[in-house]
Amino acid sequence: MSKILAITNQKGGVGKTTTTVNLAASLVAAQQRVLLIDLDPQGNATMGSGIEKRDLQASVYDVLIARKTIAQARQAAGAGGYDVLPANRELAGAEIELVDVLNREMRLRDALQLVINEYDYVLIDCPPALNLLTLNGLCAAKTVMIPMQCEYYALEGLSDLVNTIRKVRANLNPVLEIEGLLRTMFDPRNALAQQVSAQLEEHFGDKVYKTVIPRNIRLAEAPSYGVPALVHDKTSKGTTAYLALAAEMLQALTQTTVAI
């Protein structure tokens, strides 16, 4: 069964895109077939995967308005080894175009059905907003990964997001679950970060990934080369952390399968 994850947090700049791109490459390194869906008009995951967002023949926008299928709009992210359903600024118009469309929040989910058997993992990079695009991501997904920085206001935003996920589950996507909270850009020397991290573990228990993503310059540099950190510097701390995250996810999967 394919795993479909929405990587989401309405807060900007918390590491959603960095996580989506590097997790995609790390899962490929673990022999998984991966589709990355860029649902953000900023197109950062597209560019970070080495695809020029200004030159797209087709994008996730065409898929949402049912002008193209995913098979027609996807591209290979050469270096990362995964497929990308790319995005650019055009996607910002989708919200308005879909206003009168029935089941407009199910567009991505429906389109995904046609290709889902080709992938082990589908990772959806959501924009920093709880809008129709994110809603499409949450309706297509089975689980949600929440990247977050361990700072004071992070916890406040988290309860809004958890409430949204509850509402989506109640009204639109009954199977939706939180897969895990991921601590990103972590600096162990920062006392507040340690404190927030401990609070997260206390409140969310095993929903917090054991793997912590450190602040690492290679992760910030890699997008300027259009490659995941794994390709840019395979020994960097950032690369190692995302490989560990992929391993943690795959191990959790085997354990659940055995439990059943």
Where along the sequence are the contacts to ligand ATP (CB under 6 A)? 12-18, 40, 42, 44, 128, 184-185, 213, 215-216, 219-220, 223, 238
Provide the β-strand partners of residue 34. Answer: 121
Between 68 and 181, whose beta carbon lies closer to ligand ATP? 181
The closest of 143, 74, 154, 152 to 111, measured between CA atoms, is 74
Element (H, E) at 181: strand 177-184
Between 6 and 68, whose beta carbon lies closer to ligand ATP? 6
Between 68 and 219, whose beta carbon lies closer to ligand ATP? 219
Q: Which stretch binds Mg ion (CB under 5 A): 12-20, 179-187, 191-199, 237-245?
A: 12-20
Residues 27-66 that bind Mg ion (CB under 5 A): 44
Counting Cα atoms < 13 Å in the Cβ hemisphere of 238 gives 23
The closest of 69, 82, 84 to 120, measured between CA atoms, is 82
CB of 42 to ligand ATP, least distance (A): 6
Between 98 and 222, whose beta carbon lies closer to ligand ATP? 222
Binding-site member from 3, 7, 15, 17 for Mg ion (CB under 5 A): 17
- The answer to whether the CB of 117 falls within 8 A of the CB of 5 is no
How many Å apart are CA 243 and CA 162, to the nearest integer? 27
